[in-house]
Amino acid sequence: MTNPPPSSAHCLAVILAAGEGTRMKSARPKVLHEVAGRSMLAHVLAGVAQAGAGRLAVVVGPDRADVSAEVRRLAPDAQVFEQRERLGTAHAALCARPALAQGCDELLVVFADTPLIRPDTYAALRAALREGASVAVLGFEARDPTGYGRLLREGAELVAIREHKDASAAERAVTLCNAGVMAIAGAQALALLERVGNDNAQKEFYLTDVVALARAAGDKAVVVLAPEDEVMGVNDRVQLASAEAAMQTRLREAAMRAGVTMIAPQTVFLSWDTQLARDVLIEPHVFFGPGVSVGEGAVIHASSHLAQASVGPGATIGPFARLRPGARIGASAKIGNFVEIKAADIGEGAAVSHLTYLGDATVGARANIGAGTITCNYDGFDKFRTHIGAGAFIGSNSALVAPVTIGDGAYVGSGSVVTQSVAPDSLAIARGRQVEKPGWAQDFRRSHEGKPRQRP
């Protein structure tokens, strides 16, 4: 990370999450919509914490128990404040007044709907304060600046931020825009915020007015630049999809730079926490939900879906495999096509090659599970476990009715419905015995000779 902040600098981050998000057309608050498998709010909380913010204060809208609950889950030490009326970004920041009044060396004010900002970028804003600025604003060159606050500069210094609705024609021609994130020297922060008025086109208390107020007090304000893709805000589902695409590009590139091969990276979808070791090969059209790790040299064949699962080194998965929560695939194991694994440990070198469901199970090392094997783990009320020993061989099309244990090295004959445990090294056959009647078919046909055949 660039410019790691000195641990002595005490940084408070105030996260504005009171957005109504009406343009999302959703029962869910905007900031709880997900990018790469976690909420936008979670991305922002993690980002500022990684940038060294030791205290977090989140400002939520009225009656947003769901947002408060997400904050408590993610950052139990964060303080949560409610903004009852939406009177502007400075007003929102001041809703965290009790946190501000406790004092800090540096204040970061950030929006919860900009999930792509990197920890390094937050850290760069903090660093600008340490270089003498009282206010540091994150800016970007906008392809289309409409709607954004314009950053008005004189030389290297920032003079003011003009909201689009308040800007003159000349000011609207400026393409350097405010991303919304700001760092303010802790000593001045509360006093500056309190001086913000609402004499503007929207009759709102603008956080952005802090710049002109700091300048008027003889303090310095500066701009820290970021690429437009990074500061992208999310107001509707189209922008949510754009943010997702940008995040996916970032995650894929990081994986490839760390030694992962992707044949068609644009068809592979990762989660924020996907862990892929060196020399993992990922074929096209693979989806990683949250909580997946894949060990060195493993291969994930095309069109597989994994979530909350781990894959050991050298294992192969798919094509068309599904690893559900709690699937733990051992080193060099093979999970083949049309196989679903849930809450099951598959031992080292075991093979589950085709058309199988294993749920609530343990499979020992080097066991072989034949095509069409099903663990019957659910009776409509409770779940039960199946244990398959090391080196066991389950014949094709077997149903293992849990709870049941197949001993080490045991065989189960194909087509068995196994309801009782099988001792190690035994053979269990649990199906009708084959009966053969020699010549029966010929006799049957003869007895029907000359009779008209009904069409099937």
The CA distance from 70 to 98, in Å, is 21
Per-residue contact track with ligand UD1, 65 to 84, x per CB under 6 A?
------------------x-
- At 129 the three-state DSSP class reads helix
Q: Which of 51, 92, 270, 317 contacts ligand UD1 by CB under 6 A?
A: 92
Query: In the bound complex, what is the minimum distance in angstroms from residue 340's beta carbon to ligand UD1?
Result: 40
Q: Other C-beta atoms within 10 Å of 137: how many? A: 26
* 149 touching ligand UD1, by CB under 6 A: yes
Complete DSSP assignment for 351-390:
EEEEEEEEEEEEE-TT-EE-TT-EEE-B-SS-B--EEE-T
* 16 touching ligand UD1, by CB under 6 A: yes
Tokens of residue 397, six digits: 């099309």
Which one of 91, 354, 387, 448 is the catalytic residue? 354
Burial string for 347-381 (b: 16+ CB within 10 Å, else e) reads bbbbbbbbbbbbbbbbbbbbbbbbbbbbbbbeeee
Write the burial class of residue 126 (CB in 10 Å: 0-12 exposed, 13-18 middle, 19+ buried).
Answer: buried
Give the type of residue at 252.
R
Query: In the bound complex, what is the minimum distance in angstroms from residue 285's beta carbon to ligand UD1?
Result: 34
* 140 touching ligand UD1, by CB under 6 A: no
**Catalytic residue flag (residue 10):** no
- At 120 the three-state DSSP class reads helix
Query: In the bound complex, what is the minimum distance in angstroms from residue 90's beta carbon to ligand UD1?
Result: 7
- At 440 the three-state DSSP class reads helix
Stretch that binds ligand UD1, among 70-78, 108-116, 213-221, 269-277 (CB under 6 A): 108-116
**Residues shown for the chain:** 456
Query: In the bound complex, what is the minimum distance in angstroms from residue 219's beta carbon to ligand UD1?
Result: 19
CA gyration radius, the chain:
31
Stretch that binds ligand UD1, among 15-23, 70-78, 212-220, 279-287 (CB under 6 A): 15-23
Size of the site for ligand UD1 (CB under 6 A): 26
Do residues 341 and 355 make contact, with C-beta atoms less than 8 angstroms apart?
Answer: no
Residue number with CB closer to ligand UD1 (172 or 383): 172
* 121 touching ligand UD1, by CB under 6 A: no
- The β-bridge partners of 45 are none
Residue number with CB closer to ligand UD1 (27 or 435): 27
Alpha-carbon torsion (446, 452, 455, 456), positive or negative = negative
Which residues, including other chains, have CB under 8 Å from residue 236's CB and lie 6 or more apart?
Answer: 23, 24, 25
* 12 touching ligand UD1, by CB under 6 A: no
Residue number with CB closer to ligand UD1 (111 or 269): 111
* 18 touching ligand UD1, by CB under 6 A: yes
Query: In the bound complex, what is the minimum distance in angstroms from residue 125's beta carbon to ligand UD1?
Result: 15
Give the type of residue at 439.
G
* 391 touching ligand UD1, by CB under 6 A: no
**Helix, strand, coil percent content, the chain, rounded in steps of 5:** 25, 30, 45
* 163 touching ligand UD1, by CB under 6 A: yes
Stretch that binds ligand UD1, among 68-76, 86-94, 99-107, 443-451 (CB under 6 A): 86-94
Give the type of residue at 363.
V
Do residues 351 and 332 make contact, with C-beta atoms less than 8 angstroms apart?
Answer: no
Q: Which of 88, 265, 391, 407 contacts ligand UD1 by CB under 6 A?
A: 88
* 208 touching ligand UD1, by CB under 6 A: yes
Query: In the bound complex, what is the minimum distance in angstroms from residue 142's beta carbon to ligand UD1?
Result: 9
Q: Which of 19, 115, 139, 330 contacts ligand UD1 by CB under 6 A?
A: 19
Stretch that binds ligand UD1, among 13-21, 166-174, 267-275, 368-376 (CB under 6 A): 13-21
Residue number with CB closer to ligand UD1 (163 or 340): 163
Do residues 383 and 366 make contact, with C-beta atoms less than 8 angstroms apart?
Answer: no
The CA distance from 225 to 175, in Å, is 13
* 300 touching ligand UD1, by CB under 6 A: no
Residues 217-276 within binding reach of ligand UD1 (CB under 6 A): 233
Q: At what angle do helices 40-50 and 119-130 cross, to 10 degrees?
A: 40
Per-residue contact track with ligand UD1, 168 to 207, x per CB under 6 A?
---------xxxx-------------------------xx
Q: Which of 10, 86, 97, 250 contacts ligand UD1 by CB under 6 A?
A: 86
The residue with its CB nearest to ligand UD1 is 149
Cis peptide before 4 (omega within 30 of 0): no
The CA distance from 21 to 115, in Å, is 15
Q: What phi and psi values does residue 321 have, to the nearest 5 degrees? A: -110, 155
Catalytic residues: 354
The residues binding ligand UD1 (CB under 6 A) are 16, 18-19, 59, 83, 86-89, 91-92, 111-113, 148-149, 161, 163, 177-180, 206-208, 233
